[in-house]
Amino acid sequence: MKTHLLTITAGAALIASTAMADEVRVYNWSDYIDEELLTKFEEETGIDLIYDVFDSNELLETKMLAGGSGYDVVVPTGTFLQRQIQAGAFQKLDQSKLSNIGNLWDVIKDRTAQYDPDNAYSINYMWGTTGIGVNLGKVTELLGPDAPIASLDLVFNPENMEKLAECGVHFLDAPTEMIPAALAYKGLEPDRKDEEALAAAEEVLSAVRPHVRKFHSSEYINALANGDICVAFGWSGDILQARDRAAEAENGVEIAYNAPVEGALMWFDQMAIPVDAPNPEAAHVFLDFILDAQNMAQASNYVYYANGNEASKEFLVEDVIGDTAIYPDEATLEKLYTVTPFPPREQRNLTRMWTRVKSGT
Ligand code: N2P
C-alpha cells in the first residue's frame, strides 16, 4: 500500500514538472516589445508564454521582496535590481544555457556591472533616457516659438507650467527619476539623497504640482498621441512611440522628444530570474531568445529604445540606430548621468516626500 502511494506521488510529480516545463511567465514593462515576438517565441520553442506588464519599479520590487511572484523572468531597472540582488531576490544566470550571450555589447555591460557586478544575475534588455515629450503645435501656441522644449525650465518653471496646465501635463509616477531631474534643474548633483537635497527637490516639484494633471507612468503615450495632453515628463522610447501613433492616426499632432539640456537620466532595464522562479529552465530559453540579434533588433525597432546587444545593431532600422535620442552620439552622451539606489533610510524619506508632492500637501 505504502509503495503504491509513493508510486502515485512520484507519477503526479512527474506530470506536474512536465506541465511546468511547457510554460514560462514573464513580467515586463508595458509598451516594451513587439507582440509578434511573443508568438514567435511560442512557435519556435513550444513553450507557452504568459506575459504580464507593469509600469512601476516600486510595484515590481514589492512583488520581488515578498517572494512567490510566480514569475520566471522580470525586468527591474538597474538601481532597483541592485538592491533586490542584495536582498537575495534573484538567482545567478547559468551562462552555459545562453548560447547568444556573446552578442552582448561590452560598453553597456560595463555600465550595467555597476548594478550587477560581473553581470552575474541579469542581461540588459533596453536602456534609455528620461526627458521631455511635447506636442509641438500646442506648446509653441501657448509659450511662443522659443518655448524651451529641451530644457527642464519647461516643466519646472511655474510660469511655464501655469500656461501649459491648460493643455495638460503628465509627470512619471517614478520618484527615483523625478527627483534627480528636479535636482539637475537646481544645478545640484542628481544622485544626492541627503535631506537637504530632497527638500530642494520637493520645493521644485511642489511649486509646479498644481499644474500637473496626473502622475502616471504609461497613460501618457496615448494621451500625447491623441492630443489629450501637450507635455509629458517620461521615457524616451515611450514618447517616440507616441510620435508614431500620432503620425499613424494622421490627427495633426506632432510629438517631439528631448533629453533635457541640463542633463538627463540614463537607465538600464535588466532581465533577471527570481530566486523562486517556477521554471528557471524555460526562463533561460526566453532570455536566449531575447539575446538573439534579430529578435533583439525587432524589439528595439518597434519600441524605439536602444538595447545592449552589439550583434543586433546591423538589423536596426535607420530611424532607431541613426536617432541620437535613442543611440546617443558622444555629445549627447556627455549630458547623461546615472544614479545609484536609495538606501533604506533615504528611501523612507523619499517615499514620504513623494506622497506629499503627489497629494499636493
Ligand atoms: C516602457 C518603459 C520602460 C522604461 N514603457 C522604464 N525603465
Question: Closest residue (by CA) to atom 6 of ligand 1?
Answer: 235
Round the average pLDDT of the chain to a whole number and report it.
94
Neighbours of 88 (CB within 10 A): 11
Return the amino acid letter for 334. Answer: E
CA 66 – CA 358 distance, rounded (Å): 26
Each residue's pLDDT tens digit, 204-254 = 999 999 999 999 999 999 999 999 999 999 999 999 999 999 999 999 999
- The cell for 339 is 544614479
Give the confidence band of 2 by pLDDT, cuts at 50, 70, 90. Answer: very low
C-alpha 192 to ligand 1 mean position (Å) = 23
What's the Cα-to-Cα distance from 142 to each of 37, 183, 232, 255, rounded to whole Å?
41, 26, 16, 15
- The cell for 220 is 501618457
C-alpha 6 to ligand 1 mean position (Å) = 48
Question: Closest residue (by CA) to atom 2 of ligand 1?
Answer: 29
Give the confidence band of 21 by pLDDT, cuts at 50, 70, 90. Answer: low
Each residue's pLDDT tens digit, 41-57 = 999 999 999 999 999 99
Q: Does the structure show a pLDDT above 90 at 356?
A: yes
Each residue's pLDDT tens digit, 245-281 = 999 999 999 999 999 999 999 999 999 999 999 999 9
User: What's the pLDDT at 331?
Assistant: 86
Neighbours of 114 (CB within 10 A): 13
* Span 134-157, average pLDDT: 98
Task: Say whether 194 sits in a helix, a strand or coil.
Answer: coil
pTM, whole model, 2 decimals? 0.93
Question: Atom of ligand 1 at shortest distance to CA of 269?
Answer: 7
Q: Which positions ≥6 away from 155 have C-beta within 8 Å? A: 132, 161, 169, 171, 208, 231, 233
User: What's the pLDDT at 332?
Assistant: 86
Pairing of strands 264-274, 90-91: antiparallel
- The cell for 138 is 500646442
C-alpha 23 to ligand 1 mean position (Å) = 25
Tell me which of 176, 218, 235 to substitute to probe ligand 1's pocket, judged by most ligand atoms within 8 Å of the beta carbon: 235
Give the confidence band of 13 by pLDDT, cuts at 50, 70, 90. Answer: very low
Pocket, ligand 1, Cβ cutoff 6 A: 29-32, 77, 235, 238, 267, 269
CA 155 – CA 201 distance, rounded (Å): 13
| Percentage of residues of the chain with pLDDT beyond 70 | 94
C-alpha 145 to ligand 1 mean position (Å) = 30
Each residue's pLDDT tens digit, 279-335 = 999 999 999 999 999 999 999 999 999 999 999 999 999 999 999 999 999 888 889
C-alpha 144 to ligand 1 mean position (Å) = 31
Question: Atom of ligand 1 at shortest distance to CA of 77?
Answer: 7
Q: Does the structure show a pLDDT above 50 at 1?
A: no
CA 61 – CA 48 distance, rounded (Å): 25
Question: Closest residue (by CA) to atom 3 of ligand 1?
Answer: 29
